[in-house]
Amino acid sequence: MAPSFSLFVYTFLVVGTAVAIIFLSRHLGKRPLTDEKTIPYECGMDPLDTGKHRFPIKYYIVALLFVIFDVEIVFIYLWAISVRDMGLFGLFEMFVFIGILLVAFAYAWKKGGLTWES
């Protein structure tokens, strides 16, 4: 049996199963929607708002700073693994890298990017 035929049979079974599940759930599980069923469920509490309000820009700034500094930690970890192979040059370059990172952190702190006040 050719490998492409077995791949075709497998794909046919996967797609057929997915279509069958969707078809059966749509036709056997039909229930009328009420107002209570259409509202979002949030941890057993009634929703207070429509959910279409805007988040403050501070939320996104803190999230971006987290991602940036998290990626920098990955670089520092990789450097720590290979520090012996790089020698004194690698140590000096990491001091420069951490210095630039601290300057960026101080700038974000001074600008108020790490506070939650509106």
CATH number (2.30.30, 1.10.10, 1.10.3470, 1.20.58) of 3-110 reads 1.20.58
Taking residue 69's Cβ as centre, other Cβ atoms within 10 Å add up to 13
pLDDT digits (tens, 9 = 90+) for 65-92: 888 888 888 888 888 898 888 889 988 9
pTM score over 0.85: no
Domain extents in the chain: 3-110
Contacts 24+ apart (CB under 8 A), 68-71: 68/104, 69/101, 69/105
Measuring CA to CA, which residue among 110, 103, 115 is closest to residue 72? 103
The token pair at 27 is 């036709």
Residue 118 has pLDDT above 60, yes or no: no
Distance CA 118, CA 99 (A): 30
pLDDT level of residue 49 (50, 70, 90 thresholds): low
